[in-house]
C-alpha cells in the first residue's frame, strides 16, 4: 500500500492530464460556439486625449459606437447590426450622428467599415449626407470616408438658426 502523499500526488497528476486532454478536445469547439454568440447594445467609446489647454483629460467622450446587436467574429473583429456612431464636441454636445444598418468593427484599430450605406446628420440637421455603397470610419482620428453614390444636403436656414 502506497503512503498517502504518493497516492494524492498520483491522483493529482492523473487529474491534470485528464483536464489537459479535455481542454485540447473541447477548446476548438468552444471557439466555434463563441462565433455564434450574439449580444445586444454593444458600445465602444473613444475619449479625447487632452483638452485644448494642454491638461490631460481622459474622461471626455469624443465618440461612441453603438450596435443594437453585435457578434464577435475573430481577431477583435465584430459584426454590428443597426450601428450608430455619435461624435461629441468638447463641451459634451452631439455634433454628428452616423447610422448604418450593418458594419464590421475592428476593436484593436478602432475602425468601422462596410460596403453598405451610411447616413450622417450633423450641425443640428443642417448637414445630411447619404452614402449608398461603402464607408470607413476611423474613430481615433475622427475621419470618415464614403465611397460611392454620395448625396449631400446643406440647409443654410437650419445652420443660421442654430448660431443665433
d(CA 27, CA 35): 13
Mean per-residue pLDDT, 20-42: 56
| Neighbour-count burial for 103-137, b at 16+ CB within 10 Å, e otherwise | bebeeeebbbbbeebbebbbeeebbbbebeebbeb
- Look up residue 75 and give its three cell numbers: 481577431
At residue 33, the pLDDT reads: 41
At residue 40, the pLDDT reads: 85
Higher pLDDT, 156 or 26: 156
What residues have CB less than 8 Å from 134, skipping those under 6 apart?
113, 114, 115, 116, 146, 147, 148
At residue 84, the pLDDT reads: 96
Q: Which of 115, 69, 116, 119 is nearest to 96 (CA)?
A: 119
* Residue 4 predicted with pLDDT over 80: no
pLDDT tens, residue by residue, 146-161: 988 898 888 877 666 7
- Look up residue 87 and give its three cell numbers: 461624435
pLDDT tens, residue by residue, 72-124: 888 889 999 999 999 998 888 888 999 999 999 999 999 999 999 999 998 78
In this prediction, residue 49 has a pLDDT band, given cuts at 50, 70 and 90, of: confident
Amino acid at each position: 500500500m502506497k503512503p498517502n502523499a504518493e497516492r494524492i500526488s498520483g491522483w493529482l497528476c492523473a487529474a491534470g492530464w485528464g483536464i489537459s486532454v479535455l481542454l485540447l478536445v473541447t477548446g476548438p469547439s468552444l471557439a466555434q460556439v463563441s462565433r455564434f454568440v450574439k449580444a445586444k447594445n454593444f458600445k465602444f467609446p473613444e475619449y479625447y486625449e487632452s483638452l485644448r489647454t494642454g491638461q490631460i483629460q481622459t474622461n471626455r467622450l469624443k465618440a461612441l459606437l453603438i450596435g443594437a446587436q453585435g457578434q464577435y467574429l475573430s481577431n477583435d473583429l465584430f459584426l454590428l447590426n443597426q450601428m450608430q456612431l455619435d461624435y461629441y464636441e468638447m463641451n459634451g454636445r452631439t455634433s454628428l450622428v452616423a447610422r448604418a444598418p450593418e458594419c464590421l468593427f475592428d476593436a484593436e484599430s478602432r475602425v468601422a467599415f462596410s460596403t453598405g450605406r451610411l447616413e450622417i446628420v450633423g450641425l443640428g440637421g443642417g448637414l445630411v449626407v447619404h452614402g449608398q455603397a461603402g464607408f470607413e470610419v476611423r474613430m481615433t482620428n475622427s475621419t470618415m470616408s464614403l465611397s460611392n453614390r454620395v448625396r449631400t444636403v446643406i440647409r443654410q436656414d437650419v445652420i443660421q438658426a442654430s448660431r443665433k
